[in-house]
Chains A and B, each alone.
Chain A
Amino acid sequence: MTYVFQFGDVWRNIDELMWGALLTVGLSLGALACGLVLATLSAYARMTWPRFARPVVGAYVEAIRNTPLLVQVFLIFFGLPATGLRMSADQAALLALSVNFGAYATEILRSGFESVPAGQVEAGLALGLRRWQVFVKIELFQALRVVFPALSSQFVLLLLGSSIVSAIAARELTAAANDIQSRTFRSFEVYLVVTGFYFVIASIFSGFLGALDRLVFRRQDRLKGAS
């Protein structure tokens, strides 16, 4: 048996795929924003909370990092409504991706904060800054500078991982592909094109984030090197 590739059905539905790609990017950026806020708060809590309360953050990070995203998505989408919290597939997807990214980002940020010398925090406190001011004005930027490349690659993983939320039929690129596939039965062609979409999106973002890193954080390195 010979198989004839037919991409016609895919091109006819290219609008749906484009829209799906846009939703994937939106969903990932949303999860990035929420996850970063969550991670910053966790990192802050880990450094400033009383010692007995700090393992809460550690438990969150370990629980997320040692279970599959797919199970987390199911737990949130099917589990939370059973406790009375209703949400749509899209909201559940955003929540799951944010909580997931937040845990990885917490761990990444931790290594960044550890790289800021303790003396700087003490100096800030000695100058009469409040603890949160020291955190925002002294520690945060320097920590971000150290961990930006790691955060960038974690974001690309988030982008690719977001395809998993199609399992609960949240609207994004993979779900769009599933939809087209179920109508046209051109599974291989659809998924091949969509894989190409993901490749392009991921490449654009890693390129962009790499450029941003050089522009914002590495310029000082070059200036230091030149002087």
Chain B
Amino acid sequence: MSRIFSGGDIVFILLATRWTVLLSMIAFTGGAALGLMVALGRVSPRLPVRFASATYIRLFQNTPLLMQLFLVYFGVGIAGINIDPLAAASAGLILNAAAFLGEIWRGCIEAIPKGQDEAGQALALSSWQRMRLIILPQALRIAVAPTVGFLVQIVKNTSLASIIGFTELTRSGQITNNATFRPFLIFGIVALLYFIQCWPLSLWSRRLELRLGAGGRGR
């Protein structure tokens, strides 16, 4: 016998949303830090570094995120370390986001004209100085729009944490639905809550893209 869907259930779902937000933030900050290294490795002058970085991206972009989460979750488990679902989900999402952000940012770095780097060489700047002072600041400008776009992806990806048992937004919906059986209403609310987080980011990303396109041609 199922109970009636009530205000308490809505509060439960609303409160679970904060875990989705938190998980997204963790995935993005961690993924950005690791992703920057992946991107830099991808354009490194040293072949082994380039190869390792490319392999990392290839592996993570050609396997399902769900499998990556399972492997982290069960993999850390068999290493004898007890891992809670939040830590496993965070680790999996960070590793995944790093691969995608690394590939996005590699494109941005490579979009900076070669002459910029050569001018830096002529000024006797070291390769690290050229990257830090000349390439990255300019690449950053191009990178903002696609990065914000990828944020949408990250928020949506956190829903998979529910499958390894972390109670975020989607899982709270499942739990509520199991008790009250109002699937259309409950998952409708859940979908709406995701939409509220993602849509502004989508719009922002599109605006940034347009502005960058206009700015680039104007100058």
A208 an interface residue at 8 Å Cβ cutoff? no
Q: Which one of A80, A82, A195 lies within 8 Å of B63 (CB-CB)? A: A195
Q: How far is the CA of A187 from the CA of B78 in the complex (A)?
A: 10
**Chain B residue at minimal CB-CB distance from A2:** B80
B173 pairs with A74, CB closer than 8 A: yes
B71 pairs with A195, CB closer than 8 A: yes
For the complex formed, measure the closest distance between the CB of A59 and the CB atoms of chain B, giving whole angstroms.
Answer: 11
For the complex formed, measure the closest distance between the CB of B183 and the CB atoms of chain A, giving whole angstroms.
Answer: 3
Residues of A within 8 A of B191 (CB): 63, 67, 71-72, 75
B4 an interface residue at 8 Å Cβ cutoff? no
A160-B198 contact in complex given A3-B79, A71-B190, C-beta closer than 8 Å: no
A188 pairs with B187, CB closer than 8 A: no
B173 pairs with A163, CB closer than 8 A: no
Residues of B within 8 A of A81 (CB): 183
Q: Which one of B59, B71, B162 lies within 8 Å of A199 (CB-CB)? A: B59
**Chain B residue at minimal CB-CB distance from A160:** B64
For the complex formed, measure the closest distance between the CB of B115 and the CB atoms of chain A, giving whole angstroms.
Answer: 27
Question: Which parts of A70-103 form the interface with B (CB within 8 Å)?
Answer: 70-72, 74-75, 78-83
A192 an interface residue at 8 Å Cβ cutoff? yes
B67 pairs with A75, CB closer than 8 A: no
Question: Which parts of A1-41 form the interface with B (CB within 8 Å)?
Answer: 1, 3
A109 an interface residue at 8 Å Cβ cutoff? no
B199 an interface residue at 8 Å Cβ cutoff? yes
Question: Which parts of B180-219 form the interface with A (CB within 8 Å)?
Answer: 181-184, 187-188, 190-191, 194-195, 198-199, 202
For chain A, give the interface size range. 35 or more
A198 an interface residue at 8 Å Cβ cutoff? yes
A167 an interface residue at 8 Å Cβ cutoff? yes
Question: Which parts of A201-218 form the interface with B (CB within 8 Å)?
Answer: 202-203, 206
Q: Mark B48-92, 1 if CB is under 8 A from A, else 0.
A: 000000000001001111111011001101111000000000000
A195 pairs with B67, CB closer than 8 A: yes
**Chain A residue at minimal CB-CB distance from B163:** A167
For the complex formed, measure the closest distance between the CB of A82 and the CB atoms of chain B, giving whole angstroms.
Answer: 5
A3 pairs with B78, CB closer than 8 A: yes
For the complex formed, measure the closest distance between the CB of A149 and the CB atoms of chain B, giving whole angstroms.
Answer: 14
A163-B80 contact in complex given A65-B202, A187-B70, C-beta closer than 8 Å: no
**Interface residues of B, dominant DSSP:** helix
Q: Which one of A3, A164, A198 lies within 8 Å of B160 (CB-CB)? A: A164
For the complex formed, measure the closest distance between the CB of B38 and the CB atoms of chain A, giving whole angstroms.
Answer: 18
Q: Which one of A75, A163, A187 lies within 8 Å of B74 (CB-CB)? A: A187
Q: How far is the CA of A197 from the CA of B71 in the complex (A)?
A: 14
Residues of A within 8 A of B160 (CB): 68, 70, 164
Q: Which one of B62, B67, B194 lies within 8 Å of A68 (CB-CB)? A: B194
Query: Chain B: residues with CB nearer than 8 A to chain A?
Result: 59, 62-68, 70-71, 74-75, 77-80, 152, 156-157, 159-160, 162-163, 170, 173-174, 177, 181-184, 187-188, 190-191, 194-195, 198-199, 202
26 examples of A-B residue contacts, CB within 8 angstroms: A1-B80, A62-B199, A66-B156, A68-B157, A68-B159, A68-B170, A68-B194, A74-B170, A74-B177, A81-B183, A82-B183, A83-B184, A156-B62, A160-B62, A160-B63, A163-B66, A164-B66, A174-B64, A174-B66, A187-B70, A188-B71, A188-B77, A191-B67, A191-B70, A195-B64, A202-B63
Query: Chain A: residues with CB nearer than 8 A to chain B?
Result: 1, 3, 62-63, 65-72, 74-75, 78-83, 156, 160-161, 163-164, 166-167, 174, 187-188, 191-192, 194-195, 198-199, 202-203, 206
Q: A70-B162, A74-B183, A167-B163 are in contact. List 20 more A-B contacts (CB 8 A).
A: A62-B202, A66-B156, A67-B194, A68-B160, A70-B159, A70-B170, A72-B191, A74-B170, A74-B187, A160-B64, A160-B65, A163-B66, A166-B66, A174-B64, A174-B66, A188-B78, A191-B67, A191-B74, A202-B63, A203-B62
